[in-house]
Structure 1
Amino acid sequence: MSDGDPWTALLVVVVCVVLSAFFSGSETALTAASPAHMHALEKEGDKRAGIVSRLMRQRNRMIAALLLGNTLFNIGGSAFATSVLVALFGEHGAVYATFIMTAMLLVFAEVLPKTLAINHPDSFSLAAARTVGIVVSVFGPLLAGVEFFVRWLLKMAGVELGEGRNVLSPYDELMSAVDILHEEGNVERSARDMFGGVLDLQVMHVSDVMVHRTKMRAIDADLPPKQIIREVLASPYTRMPLWRERPDNFIGVLHSKDLLRALDAAGGDAASLQIDEIMLEPWFTPEATTLKDQLEAFLKRKTHFAFVVDEYGEVMGLVTLEDILEEIVGDIRDEHDVAMLGVRAQKDGSVLVDGAVPVRDLNRAMDWHLPDSEATTIAGLVIHEAGAIPEAGQVFSFHGFRFEVLRRVRNRITSLRVVPEGL
């Protein structure tokens, strides 16, 4: 071997290690890159992002190509290193080559490039896109054969490729992604809650956010007009349900602005007002209507108020546009709203909660994660978990919290103390 041969072989070894590092880093980057970011860049005209998106869509073939390149250059580099060291040190050179190449490949071809790629997956993917795209195209037929052979082997082993795939719905995928970003500090809690609220519009129903009939403020339409005006002025709401003959027979909705216009047109003579001519026709919506559909209906009808009815046509409550928007942005309060209802944090870490407080509102207020699929209110959750209506003084522990029933009125739990376990 001439004096230049060892240096040439050494150069080949270095090139093989560098190329192996490229394929290792590309594999990590392209599997960790953000599809959404690439899609956005592609729409802006970045051709490299388009290549990355295409490679992501043929993930199996892309990974096979990268593993092929990585394996090829790992073996090539090791072979050249062994030949050089055997020529220099005899039969002991193979042992030296094993230890030296293991260290070099581990540090420079695996750990270093993959650490860089996992910390900057998008930029690494864009930089490697064209080269990887060419490799996948050139070795496409070979990789297709390899993929077919692998599938055949797995099938012979009784492994179904469909098994083990992620069964989460797109909704769950998005929610989980946002929760992870929040835990990592990349998304603020308010933004996480708003995003979750938007997604929840298609799975929640109007019955989940409505004001129950027992809490509705309504006016008897047969009262004298002056008294109706006083009732409207005493209410914090601009729209008031009207009933006649019995409290559950709702015949319309009175808007305070319409009432003022009519009063102005009558020259301030309240006695001459005809409430039936001023009120709006009632609109009834089924309890199973999703918030997404109800929001679209509000926008289409250009109204903000609807009565919620059950399958028998009985009014269960009312829902407003504000109720739906609060599921996205949180509690909306103005100068006429009543102070926050039902959640009072104590110095000892416990929280006093009115039984009628919705579980979702409590979760948002306290950043908790109590389940809200089986019950709308916190009292309903306790009754569901207990399997009965608890007596005052009973204590239950579930979902990582301790619930103490403080007060019960007839069949309703009106007050509870909630304590996170560990306090």
Structure 2
Amino acid sequence: MPALQYWSFLVAIGVLVIAGGIFAGLTIGLMSLDETNLAILKLSGTVEEKAWAARIEPIRRNGHLLLVTLLLANTVINETLPVLMHSLKWDGYKAVLISTALIVVFGEIIPQAICARYGLQVGAFFAYPVRILIWVVYIIAYPIARLLDWILGHKHGVIYRRSELKELMALHGEDQEGPLTKDEVSVLRAVLELRDKSVLNVMTSLEHVFMLPLETKLDRPTMENIMKAGHSRVPIYASDRGCIIGVVLVKQLIINDPDDAIPLSDIKIRRLPRVTARIPLFEMLHVFEQGGSHMAVVYDSLPGQTEQPGESSRNGEALARIVQPTWTYASPRQADSSGGNVLGIVTLEDIIEELLGEEVRILGSTLRACVRVYMEITGRL
């Protein structure tokens, strides 16, 4: 064999090994990037990552067509190598050993190791050549890809279940060098668990609720008790603690002179929403989002409620089914007796504490400070 032809075959073998390695690496790199990964990178990645994801997304959208194209190209190359080596008049065992070493080391192990780590960058670099290759083998690859779509389905990306997301967050929290702190992971996991918890899990039971009877007079002992309680809102009841008629805001009370002993019945009382203990916390959070109140009375049952736990209640019609009545700034004088037994109260702070995993004290401390300053100024403390 002439020397020129011999070296031409060697160069061709080297080119084929490199090409086979590229196709093998792209198979790992591109197929490991599903549409969910690419969508996330396009929305929240760096400028370079957004550009890389935008290049890859068109060819990755039809995953089976891409897979068949890369495997066809790699198979053709692997089958061509022995033919070229045979043309060099190498012995059988020699050709087998050399081709195996070249394919395994340079055509499989090294490219796949690189692309498994840098799949996004390598995939973006070869995105346009791969697109051309898809059209070259389209007549053969398309029917096979369609058959795979029919048998296996067209996969659009990984969608994690709630439990999987929780464990994913936990793994991020365990990684010391991860992008999320333990507090961030704790809050994220608490948000995912919020749907499985009801008002009953976080409410304050009736016997532990600080409240005042309607006939109370706002004298100095009463104001001191309110200050010590440290709440921003105080429920008001009529005949007994189970007859809650509404709530007063503490910031409305501190402007009154304790020496006047103004009856609580003369203060504007805001009616509270009524909910049942089985309402999921997410639904309760939607109630508080309406902005009318940060407190609700919890009943064991209410007439006409059809909302089931876990259903979405973002629309006004659904909220109307789980909250009775709507908020009003009237001054009620008796409790609505159309519901069941009062179990306690739930506040927005209760839900926030469930999310944070610790008690929220800032607001109560601020109110106590305001009341203390006022009473010091008036010389009554």
Q: What TM-score comes out, normalization by structure 1 length?
A: 0.66
1:164-203 matched pairs, under 5 angstroms: 170-185=161-176, 186=178, 187-203=180-196
For residues 376-418 of structure 1, what are the alpha-carbon distances to aligned partners after superposition, in whole Å with 9 as ceiling and x for unaligned?
xxxxxxxxxxxxxxxxxxxxxxxxxxxxxxxxxxxxxxxxxxx
1:24-423 matched pairs, under 5 angstroms: 24-33=24-33, 34-40=37-43, 46=50, 48-84=52-88, 87=89, 89=90, 93-149=91-147, 161=152, 170-185=161-176, 186=178, 187-226=180-219, 227-261=221-255, 263=256, 267-275=257-265, 277-312=267-302, 313-334=340-361
CA gap of 1:177–1:282, structure 2 versus 1, over 3 A, is same
CA gap of 1:292–1:137, structure 2 versus 1, over 3 A, is farther
Q: Identify the range of structure 1 (324-333 vs 8-17) with the bigger mean alpha-carbon deviation.
A: 324-333
- Residue type matched to 1:127 in 2? F
- Residue type matched to 1:322 in 2? E
Residues in 1 aligned to 2:15 and 2:271: alpha-carbon distance in whole angstroms? 80
Aligned 8 A contact 2:206 2:241 in 1: no
Aligned 8 A contact 1:304 1:321 in 2: yes
CA gap of 1:335–1:149, structure 2 versus 1, over 3 A, is closer
Cα RMSD of the aligned pairs, angstroms, is 3.2
Residues in 2 aligned to 1:219 and 1:20: alpha-carbon distance in whole angstroms? 81
Q: Identify the range of structure 1 (62-71 vs 304-313) with the bigger mean alpha-carbon deviation.
A: 304-313
User: Shift of residue 257 of structure 1?
Assistant: 0.5
Q: Identify the range of structure 1 (218-227 vs 98-107) with the bigger mean alpha-carbon deviation.
A: 218-227
Name structure 1 gaps, 5 residues minimum.
155-160, 339-423
Instruction: State the structure with bigger RCO (CA 8 A, min sep 6), 1 or 2.
Output: 2
Q: What TM-score comes out, normalization by structure 2 length?
A: 0.73
Name structure 2 gaps, 5 residues minimum.
303-339, 366-381
Residues in 2 aligned to 1:54 and 1:176: alpha-carbon distance in whole angstroms? 31
- Residue type matched to 1:224 in 2? K
The answer to which structure has the higher strand fraction is: 1
- Residue type matched to 1:295 in 2? L
Residues in 2 aligned to 1:184 and 1:72: alpha-carbon distance in whole angstroms? 43
For residues 92-121 of structure 1, what are the alpha-carbon distances to aligned partners after superposition, in whole Å with 9 as ceiling and x for unaligned?
x22112122212211222121221122223
